[in-house]
A and B are shown apart, each in its own frame.
Chain A
Amino acid sequence: MINAGNLVWLPLYALFYVAVMLFWTRVAARENGNHETYFSAGHSLSPWISALTLAAASLSGWFLLGGSAEIAARGFAQPGVLQAGIVLALPGVLFFKRMWFVGQRLRLSSQAELFRSYFDSKFLVVVSVVVAVVFAVGFAGLQLRALSELIGMLSGGMVSPLVASLFLGVVLFAYVGIGGMRAVGYFGVIQSVLAFTAIVGLAGFALMSSGGFAALNAGLQTLAQSPDGAGLFQVAGVIRFSAGLGRDAVMGHAETALTSLSVAMAFMGFQASPLAAKIVLSTRNANGFAAGQTWVMAGIVGGIIAFGMAIIGTAGLINPQLSLGGMLAQLQAASPWFMAWLFLGAVAGVQLLAGLGLLTAGEGLVRHIYKPYFHSSLSRVATVNLTRIVIALLALVSVLMQSLTPVALSALGALALPLAFQLWTPLLGITWLRWITPAAATVGVGFGIAGVLLTETMGYEVLSFLGLELPWGRWPWTIHSAAWGMAANIAAVLIISAITNRNAFGAEAQEARRFVQSTLRMGPRARVLGAAAWSVALAWIFLAVGPGLVFSNFAFGTVDASGGAWSVGMPSIWAWALLFWALGVGLIWFLSYKMEMASPYLMDIPAYEPPRTLHHDQTRVEGERLRKLVVTGALAFILVVLVAFSFGS
Chain B
Amino acid sequence: MSTPNTERDLLVFSIWAVLGFAGLAFLLEGFTRDSYFVCLLGTALIVAAFVAHIIVNFLFQQGFRPGETVLGIGAFGVLTFTFIAGVLSGSMSMVDYYSGLTLFSILIVGFIAYLSTRHGLRGAFSRFHVKTAVSEDSGR
Contact = CB atoms under 8 A, between A and B. Distances in A.
A194 B18 contact: yes
Interface string A303-326: 000000000000000000000000
A189 interface: yes
Contacts of B138: none
A605 interface: no
Interface stretch (A37-45, A386-394, A410-418, A510-518): A37-45
Interface in B1-50: 1-2, 6-7, 9-10, 13-14, 17-18, 21-22, 24-25, 28-29, 32
Given A31-B2, A46-B7, A49-B2, A190 B17 contact: yes
A197 B15 CA distance: 11
Nearest to A186: B10
Contacts of A44: 1-2
A27 B13 contact: no
Given A42-B1, A45-B2, A335-B32, A190 B14 contact: yes
Interface residues of B, number: 17
Majority secondary structure of chain B interface residues (helix, strand, loop or mixed): helix
Contact of A337 (B2, B9, B13, B28): B28
Nearest to B28: A337
Contacts of B6: 27, 31, 186
A526 interface: no
A382 interface: no
A41 B6 CA distance: 13
A194 B17 contact: yes
A48 B7 CA distance: 10
Contacts of A41: 2
Nearest to A45: B2
A42 B2 CA distance: 9
Interface residues of A, number: 25
Contacts of B18: 193-194, 197
Given A31-B1, A31-B2, A45-B2, A190 B28 contact: no
Contacts of B28: 335, 337
Contacts of B29: 335, 337-338
Given A31-B2, A41-B2, A44-B1, A49 B7 contact: yes
B22 A189 contact: no
Contacts of A49: 2, 7, 10
Interface in A175-229: 182, 185-186, 189-190, 193-194, 197, 201
Contact of A338 (B2, B9, B17, B25): B25
A341 interface: yes
Interface in A15-52: 20, 24, 27, 31, 41-42, 44-46, 48-49
Contacts of A335: 25, 28-29, 32
Given A46-B7, A190-B10, A193-B17, A341 B1 contact: no
A193 B28 CA distance: 22
A133 to B, nearest CB: 28
9 contacts: A31-B1, A31-B2, A41-B2, A44-B1, A186-B6, A189-B14, A190-B10, A197-B17, A335-B32
Interface of A: 20, 24, 27, 31, 41-42, 44-46, 48-49, 182, 185-186, 189-190, 193-194, 197, 201, 284, 335, 337-338, 341
